Amino acid sequence: MSKTIVIDGKVIPFEDGQTIIQAATAAGVYIPHLCHNPKFTPHGSCKLCTVKVNGRNCSACTFPAAKGQTITNITKELNDDREKITQMLFVEGNHFCPSCEKTGNCNLQAVAYHLGMTDNHFPHFFENREVDASHPDVMIDHNRCIFCTLCVRASQQEDGKNVFAISGRGIEKRLVVNSPSGLLKDSDLDVNDCAAHICPTGAILIKRTGYKVPIGQRIFDHAHIDTVALAAEGASHDE
């Protein structure tokens, strides 16, 4: 316990090789995030996990913890930026929560609530995106994809496949399926694959499971994302 960092005044131990978010999670400190999942290599793209390390903005999910770091995490300034980033993600896609199967189980929605987001702030893109319902068991609604690449990483790193990829540059980027037709049915995705279940939003859904858990009994209907994330991602503290 000799090596420590300080987050919002709290002294937190870390081991060499840990990122800031790993050390924080282990110590029961929640740093808002979307593209980070401790099971996979970091991607560092959503930028929600931005914290101030000795005065400089860094992504907690990629930045290595190191001695002497004084970090601020929950501040008005950082949460304001996080809220705006979340609003950006909302307006880029088409997220009509009330009519979405994922509502109440969705990390994007839960983060938005957590940050106190009450409107979209920015004008909507209203982009025309497709739905791929070709697969017998799994569907993709591209309207809800936030390009976190968790499905891409899960397929490669957990399932030993390579079902998903991101193509296109800048605002033109899209999630694509690596299959001859580009359709999910022609890929080797299986309903039991990790990639089919990892999506933090309602972009990848399992067919014939809709509304099995009624609204009102869903994950974030009862708990905030900070406690849910810490419990799921391996908080080792007992409070």
Partner 1 sequence: MSITVYVPCDSSAVSLGANRVADAIAQEAQKRGIEINVVRNGSRGMYWLEPMVEVATDKGRVAYGAVKTSDVASLFDADFLNGGVHALNLGLTEEIPYLKKQQRLTFARVGITDPVSVEDYVAHDGYRGLKNALSYSQADIVKHVTDSGLRGRGGAAFPTGIKWNTVLNTPSEQKYIICNADEGDSGTFSDRMIMEGDPLVLIEGMTIAGIAVGATQGYIYLRIEYPHALEILNAAIANAYAANYLGENIQGSSKTFHLEVRQGAGAYVCGEETALMESLEGKRGLVRFKPPLPAISGLFGKPTVVNNVISLASVPVILDKGGEFYRDFGMGRSRGTLPLQLAGNLKHAGLVELAFGATLREVLYDFGGGSATGKPIRAVQVGGPLGSYLPESQFDTPLDYEAFAAIWAVLGHGGIVAFDETVDLAQMAKYSMEFCVEESCGKCTPCRIGSTRGYEVMDEIVAKRDLDKNIPLLRSLCDTMLNGSLCAMGGMTPYPVLSALNHFPEDFQGR
**Which pair of structure tokens corresponds to residue 174?**
């899209």
Q: Which does 209 bind (CB under 5 to 8 A by kind): ligand FES, ligand SF4, partner 1, none?
A: none
CB count within 10 Å of CB 189 equals 25
Verify binding: residue 59, ligand SF4, rule CB under 6 A: no
Beta carbon of residue 29, minimum distance to ligand SF4 (angstroms, whole number): 24
**Which residue type occupies 225?**
I
Q: Is position 44 an interface residue for ligand FES (rule: CB under 6 A)? A: yes
3-state secondary structure of 109: helix
Using CB under 6 A as the binding criterion, the count of chain residues that bind ligand FES stands at 12
Interaction of residue 203 with ligand SF4, rule CB under 6 A: yes
Unique residue bearing structure tokens 């919002």: 8
CA atoms of 187 and 226, how far apart (whole Å): 35
Residues 32-71, mask of contacts with partner 1 (x by CB under 8 A):
----------x-xxxxx-x------x-x--xxx-------
Least distance in angstroms from the C-beta of 68 to ligand SF4? 34
Query: By CB under 8 A, is residue 121 in contact with partner 1?
Result: yes
User: Which one of 79-87, 154-162, 184-192, 222-230 is the stretch in contact with partner 1 (CB under 8 A)?
Assistant: 79-87
All residues at 6 or more sequence positions from 95 whose CB lies less than 8 Å from its CB, including other chains: 108, 109, 143, 144, 201
Cα distance from N-terminal residue to C-terminal residue, the chain = 19
**Local structure of residue 174 (DSSP, 8 states):** E
Q: What single-letter DSSP state applies at residue 28?
A: T
- Provide the binding-site residues for ligand SF4, judged by CB under 6 A: 95-97, 100, 102-103, 106, 108-109, 144-151, 175, 198-199, 201-204
